[in-house]
Amino acid sequence: MSRVGKLPITIPSGVQVAVAGQKLTAKGKLGALELALSPDVETEVADGHVVVKPRLETKQARMQWGTTRALINNLIRGVSTGYTVNLEINGVGYRAQVQGKNLVLQLGFSHDINFPIPSDISIACEKPTSIRVSGADRQRVGQIAAEIRAFRKPEPYKGKGIKYETEHIRRKEGKKK
């Protein structure tokens, strides 16, 4: 039995959840998101809770049970409170700023990097060395943060580059004389 899948999801106030066929939609203060449901599980919305159950007792249905429950929980939390990923920039002369609909990154290359900000994501730079990526869709927020980090990954000798706020960089010792 799935320990994750059997837990009911509480719907917070201000969020509407509807199931139509194999599609679940959630609307909240941060927007509306949709999820295509697996045919192996059935989903019910009843008295402020969303309950997910497997249709059959197959291995595939049991796998989809917990996965579907987690995806629905992420959807509901996203439209009510949203998700945020913080990035830090380390390095002399490395900085970021938001100009209009672009994130401009200066990362030691001969040119600036202009990253267009998607319409469903908001990016803010409180300091020139910190970037906050936020939005309703957990997968999109993580993907955009990973794309920004990929422009200059942190290197192990001096730690220069873009890293997640919670990430720890394993440092290497430089060459000896």
Which amino acid would we find at residue 111?
H
* 101 and 74 belong to one structural domain: no
Average predicted confidence (pLDDT) for the chain: 92
Confidence of residue 6 (pLDDT cuts 50, 70, 90): confident
- Alpha-helical runs (H) found in the chain: 59-80, 138-150
Burial of 63 (0-12, 13-18, 19+ CB in 10 A): middle
> What's the pLDDT tens digit per position in 144-158?
999 999 999 999 999
**HSE-CB of 114 using CA atoms within 13 angstroms:** 5
Tokens of 40: 């192996």
pLDDT of residue 141: 95
Average pLDDT for 29-45: 91
Same domain membership, residue 121 and residue 55: no
- The yes-or-no verdict on residue 1 having pLDDT over 80 is no
Residues 131 and 153 both lie in one domain: yes
- Using CA atoms, how far apart are residues 37 and 120, in angstroms rounded to an integer? 22
Answer yes or no: do 155 and 88 share one domain. Answer: yes
66-71 long-range Cβ contacts below 8 angstroms, 24+ apart: 66/2, 66/3, 66/4, 66/5, 67/38, 68/5, 68/37, 68/38, 68/41, 68/43, 69/2, 69/4, 69/5, 69/7, 69/9, 70/4, 71/35
* Residue 62 and residue 24 in one domain: yes
pLDDT band per the 50, 70, 90 thresholds, residue 132: very high
Q: Which residue's entry shows tokens 């939390």?
A: 77
- Specify the DSSP element, H or E, that contains 16: strand 16-20
CATH of the domain at 28: 3.90.930.12
Specify the pTM.
0.88
80, 103, 128: which is the final residue of a domain?
A: 80
